[in-house]
Structures are given as structure tokens and as C-alpha cells.
Amino acid sequence: MTTPHAPGRRGSGCRAPKFVSLHRVTVLVLYLLYAIALSVALGRAGLRGPAVAREPASRGSRPARVLIVGATGGTGRELVRRALERGYEVTALVRDPARMTVAHPRLSVVRGDVTQPESLDSPMRGQDAVLCALGHRRYYPPSRILSEGTRNIVRAMEAHGTRRLVCETSLGIGDSAGRMGLYYTLFVIPVILPFYYWDKTRQERIVARSGVEWIIVRPGALKNRPARGRVRHGRGVGGFLLTPRIARADVADFMLDQLESDAYLGAAPGITW
């Protein structure tokens, strides 16, 4: 004999899976809308440069003395090594000198913190250019380390007459929004790095409004690999589908090239393999 179903059991058993499925779809749609909206906001907030790079201007003398900020980070270490190889007098500004593993007669290591303006005064004296590779791992909560640190760098440069700033930011902001590929655009940036990238947009605006000669360099996803020596650079590099990548060593070489080139003066080229 078949036991009759209790009133209402048949309908409730069928509706529950449909409700869960609809809930998941709703959450997914809302998340995608958030990720897309964030990408659009990063595009509007970051620097939106000219359609083409500027024509080279007449250049002055080759810089001889450079200050490297963020010198113990991934790109910063490559900048120090390669700047020394090119014959520059290098001052490395670091929070912890013990982390600097490079020793060289033309390298001076100075303890400092870019969030404290007074610590930039002495190392900035006599410098011809600054290479900024600021970064940090304080992804949460919201932070202004990149933007406020860069603001202090710019002010010190203007006070001491330091001529040129080459600043590393990232693809995915300004007129390169979305060009870090779907994985970064839809997951990494909105979930892990939203505050970090938002601070990069403030950093770019501070550089662009400064009174120094500036070039912003926007690399793709950074890798600890040997330099290839051949890179794609300019406006429009990167991809909307796959994640563009590049070795930190190649980024360092490209940033050092900008010390003696005016091709990207006042622009924000992307750089990838």
C-alpha cells in the first residue's frame, strides 16, 4: 500500500532546487556587474593619455645619478642591478637596508619611508632622476601608501630640482582598463586587489599633475623570469581575454630606457611580452 504524501510536500520538494539555482545565478550576475563596474571606474579614474605617443623632444644631458624607490621589491631589485650595469650612480631608498642584497661602489643604500616626507629630503639632493617601483602587500583595508608616497616623492623632486620621474603602475587602469585579461578583470582585481588598484589610479593622477618630466610605465602580470629583451610597448598593448605577462627584468630595462628617451614623455605606455 502506498503511503500518501503529506499536503504540500510535493510542491516544496520541487521548488527548493529551483530556488537555489536562481539564487546562485542572481549572485553571479551581481558579481559580474560589480567586476565590470569596477573596471569601468578604474578606467575613468586612472590616466587617459593621448591617442599616440608624443614625438621625441630635444634631450638634455644623460642622467648620471638616480634614486630608486621601492628598491627591495621585485622590480626594484632589477632596477638596482641593471642601473649599476649601465653605469649610473644609484641611491636605493629602502625601509630595511638589511633586505638589500646588492653591494657596489656606485650604490648608496639609504633608510627611508616614502610616507614620511622628511626622509626623502636628504636622498633626493643631487639626483637627476627617480625610478619609482613602489609596492606593498597591504591589500586590505583601503590604503593610500602608493598615492601618498608618490605625492611625497614628487614634492621632494620639485623642491630639489630633480628632473625626471619614471613610475611603475599597472595595466588595467586608465585607458588600459580591462587589458589585464579576464582572469584579472573578473577575479584578481575585484576580489583581491580592488583597493590596491584604486590607489594606483590616484598615484597616476598625482604624477600627471606634477611639475616634473614624467613617464608612467604600465606592465602586465609580473614574472620572476630572465629578460627576453624584446617587448611590446605603447598604448593598446595587453589583452581583454588572456593575461598579459612580462618579466620584471624587462620592465626594469624599459624603465631605464626612459631616462634617456623622450618618446613617452607625458604618457603611460603599457608593456608586455
Of 5-19, 45-59, 93-107, which gets the smallest average pLDDT? Answer: 5-19
Q: Name the superfamily (CATH) of residues 63-263.
A: NAD(P)-binding Rossmann-like Domain (3.40.50.720)
Angle between helices 194-208 and 145-160 (to 10 degrees): 20
Structure-model confidence comparison of residues 208 and 3, the more confident one: 208
Q: What is the pLDDT of residue 194?
A: 97
With CA atoms as reference, report the closest residue to 255 among 269, 266, 243: 269
Domain definitions of the chain by residue range: 63-263
Mean pLDDT of 125-135: 97
Cβ atoms of 216 and 267 within 8 Å: the answer is yes
pTM of the model: 0.89
Main-chain phi, psi angles of 222, to 5 degrees: -85, 135
Q: What is the pLDDT of residue 1?
A: 46
CA 222 remoteness from chain centre:
10
Share of the chain above pLDDT 90, in %: 84
Q: What is the pLDDT of residue 207?
A: 98
pLDDT at position 123 over 90: yes
Position 52 confidence tier, pLDDT thresholds 50, 70, 90: very low
